[in-house]
Amino acid sequence: MSKERLSVIKIGGNIIEDVTSLHTFLKLFSNLEGKKILVHGGGKRATHIATKLGIESKMVNGRRITDADTLEVITMVYGGLVNKNVVAKLQALGADAIGLTGADINSIKSDKRPVKEIDFGFVGDVKKVANKSIEKLLQADFTPVFCAITHDGKGQLLNTNADTITSQVAIGMSEIYETSIYYCFELNGVLEDFNDKNSVVKIINPSVYKELLANGVIADGMIPKLDNCFDALENGVHKVYIGNTSMLTKENDNYTTITL
């Protein structure tokens, strides 16, 4: 018997922060057929509120450190302000949303990142996704909305990368569903030429990926993102799509599909 389909959709800070983009996306999301899960980042709102509260953003080697004060702000902004407003808006659009951190229903357990050269502070690396508990919510016809927070199971919340949450939740749910990931961002997809927004690489499989890495089309921050996609595919996820939010409609076929 073929598995039922599940879509796991991630939106980044640029969509979250723009009222119009967010509304357009949430409409598309709520109209999407079948079971679905939303994962959202928090964007610059957290930095903005941290600054107002007099909490400095600490960076080491260009990477943000989550100290106790910063974790409080993240918990307020991601878990409260952003998550609950998204849930309220989805309810208005007819989607029976439920906002979650990884602590809720013990859905995503993580390990505090060990201190090596850098102490990242209260940052978690995902260890276990409780797919059977998440499945109970989906079976009840609720639509889970995850923010980028997990917990260690001992009472500590942990800041966790939203892309990783997306792929790990999708991997976990693949046991039960034919699960696809949609990474929505401001571009149309992975671009062959960064200056031509229509030069979308339509399909990336492992051999295309090698080529794109060799000729430098995929570089820097895109490498961990793509590695993350292939990791998901190698661990049971059906397909990964990268593009702007209109890829959720049938009209747009200009986006990147990542496949094995």
Query: Can you say which residues are annotated as belonging to the binding site for substrate?
Result: 42-43, 64, 159
CA atoms of 111 and 152, how far apart (whole Å): 6
What 3-state class would DSSP assign to 103? coil
| Least distance from a second copy to the Cβ atom of residue 127, Å | 14
Q: Which stretch binds a second copy (CB under 8 A): 79-87, 116-124, 192-200, 213-221?
A: 79-87
Q: Choose the stretch contacting a second copy; rule: CB under 8 A; options: 58-66, 150-158, 161-169, 171-179.
A: 150-158
The least CB distance from residue 7 to a second copy, in Å, is: 20
Q: State yes or no: residue 22 binds a second copy (CB under 8 A).
A: no
* Pick 53 or 60: Cβ nearer a second copy: 53
Among 78, 122, 146, 182, binds a second copy (CB under 8 A): 78
Q: How far is CA 130 from CA 31, 106, 201, 228, in A?
A: 26, 7, 34, 20
Return the residue matching tokens 């509120």.
Answer: 49
Binding mask 172-211 for a second copy (x = CB under 8 A): ----------------------------------------
Say whether residue 159 binds a second copy (CB under 8 A).
no
Q: What is the largest CA-CA distance in the chain?
A: 56
Instruction: Please provide the DSSP assignment of 151-216 as one string.
Output: E-SSS-EEE--HHHHHHHHHHHHTTTSEEEEEEE-SSSSSBSSTT-TT-B--EE-HHHHHHHHHTT
